[in-house]
Structure 1
C-alpha cells in the first residue's frame, strides 16, 4: 500500500498524530471528505493492524460546543483553529491516510482522553 507515494509499511503511526485522511464516502451526518483526523488507537494496534481508529477534526467551528469536543489552536501545529470531534470516531484503513500534519502534546491528549470517556460512557467523568 502507498500513502502519498510512500509505502504505508514505511510510515510509523502514533497515537496523537494528526494526518489528512479521505473519509468519503459517508452516510448522513458523518464527517467526510479530505480532512484532518487524530489517531486515537494505541501504538501496538497502530503498528500491527492494517486499520487505525481516528477522530474527525473540523475547522467549521473554532470552539468546543460539546463535552466530546476538544479545541486545538493553529499554534498547536494545525493550519487553523479546529475542534476534534470525539463523538465522530471511526476505524479506517491506513490507505485512507495521506500527509502527516503534526503530533499533539500530552496536555491536549489528556483532554482527548477525557472526551473519549464521555463519548463512550466509560467510568466517572471528572
Structure 2
C-alpha cells in the first residue's frame, strides 16, 4: 500500500507549478516578490511542460512527513471528535462592511457534553485569514 506522501510526490513531477509573483517590483502590485511559503514537494515540480500558475497563499496540503500536532492519546479507547470552527461552531457575517461572528446556538452545551462522554475534542479551521 502506497503512502499518501509517496503518491503526491509522484504526481508533482508531472506538474509545473509556478507562483504568481511581482517580478517587476511594482509598488502597486498585491503579489509578493517571492513566495513566502515553503512548498511541500517543490523539489519534485516538473521543469518543463505547461505551467500551472497559482496565487501564493498558505499551503493547503500538509507536509505528511512532519510529526502530528496532537499529543498521543492516553488510551486507545478514547475517540477524537474533530470540529471545524468556521460555519460549524461559529457563523461569520458582514453587515455594513463590518465583519462579525455569532456563536451557534447550543455550541457550548454540545462541546461540554462531548467532553463529558469522554471524547477528545479538537477544533480546527481551514481558514487562511
Q: Same fold (TM over 0.5)?
A: no
Q: Which has the higher helix share?
A: 1
Bigger radius of gyration: 2
TM-score by length of 2: 0.21
Normalised by the size of structure 1, how large is the TM-score?
A: 0.21
Which one has a larger percent strand, Structure 1 or Structure 2?
A: 1
Choose between structure 1 and 2 for higher RCO, CA contacts under 8 A separated by at least 6 residues: 1
